[in-house]
Amino acid sequence: MKYAAAWAAIACEVLETPYPYGAAHASSGPDDVDVTPQRLHPAFHGSYDWHSSAHMQWSLVRLLTLAPDQAGPRPIEVLDQRLTPEAIATEVAYLRERPAYERPYGWAWAAMLVAAARKLPGAKNWAAALSPLGDVIADLVLGWLPRQAYPVRHGVHLNTAFAMALLLEAYDDLHRPDVVDAIRSRALEWFGQDTAYDTRFEPSGTDFLSPALTEAELMRRVLPADEFSTWLSAFLPGLGVDAHQHLLEVPVTDNSGDGQLAHLSGLALSRAWQLRTLAPALPDVAEVLREGADRQIKAVLPMVTGGDFMSTHWLVSFALLADQA
């Protein structure tokens, strides 16, 4: 794997960077104002915030799975310090006490970490420690989906389709048909009848997801292949031919250290991932979609390891999604 060593190195580096850190902790009173990252989150500190710490640890587990020799021993040392029963118990208690914390984006990445550790040979200790985290997130998802009246369709963390796609993958791997069925049912209810999606106003200025492509990626996982091809043609008619061409082009990116503007580099990578996964459903334009994906990856690849911390603390995960699509 071409970039495994560099990606593992930067993931370890940012996970071991304690500050800046955005705790997103809602204090319950004057005695609840200590937001020291490692005290609140002994597993998911570093890498700027809880969700980025979770998905950069997922990145390390994936790199150890895909290219263990290139990833080297340092990821194991980093994960050994975090994925302990005691640390995960603290995280589980925190989520139970605050059932909307990191909903749904952080939940999705944490569930992906649980599932990835379960599949990594030699990671039994991590998998065992993480198991309660998978259980609490399953409970939270099952409690949340019936109460969520409408999906969130914008291009940042609260996007419903993105989280549902990752949660579906994770809980399918974790053999939780109750969670999988709940996600599939809600996805069909929310998105199954969508047609002629208007992408003229994508992207918004801080998007790291394309609302259109993210919804399509979820439905690719939910529908049988033949039904999905029909759905996609109706949802994004002309994709790759004469419409939605801006989704195939590199967005304007920024490496100034502005965390919100850094999102646009992630947008290029998430688009690339989704264009690659959607391409087989549109065989007549599959090569056009793949070329669009390649352009976007090439443009932002230097940011993944060589950008400002506001880029490097999270982009490896999206680069991995694109690389493995």
Residue-wise pLDDT tens digits, 121-168: 999 999 999 999 999 999 999 999 999 999 999 999 999 999 999 999
Residue pLDDT, tens place only, 257-268: 999 999 999 999
Annotated domain spans of the chain: 1-23+33-191, 192-325
Percentage above 90 pLDDT, the chain: 99
Residue pLDDT, tens place only, 229-274: 999 999 999 999 999 999 999 999 999 999 999 999 999 999 999 9
- d(C-alpha 88, C-alpha 44), whole Å: 9
- d(C-alpha 39, C-alpha 320), whole Å: 30
Confidence of residue 287 (pLDDT cuts 50, 70, 90): very high
Compute CA distances 309 → 66, 105, 171, 284, 304, whole Å.
Answer: 25, 20, 31, 40, 10
Q: Which two tokens stand for residue 275?
A: 């264009």
Residue pLDDT, tens place only, 106-126: 999 999 999 999 999 999 999
pLDDT of residue 295: 98
Model's pTM, two decimal places?
0.98
Taking the CA atoms of the chain, what radius of gyration do you get in angstroms? 19
pLDDT of residue 6: 98
Quick check: 217 and 182 in contact, CB under 8 A? no
pLDDT of residue 229: 98
Mean pLDDT of the chain: 97
pLDDT of residue 23: 93
pLDDT of residue 279: 98
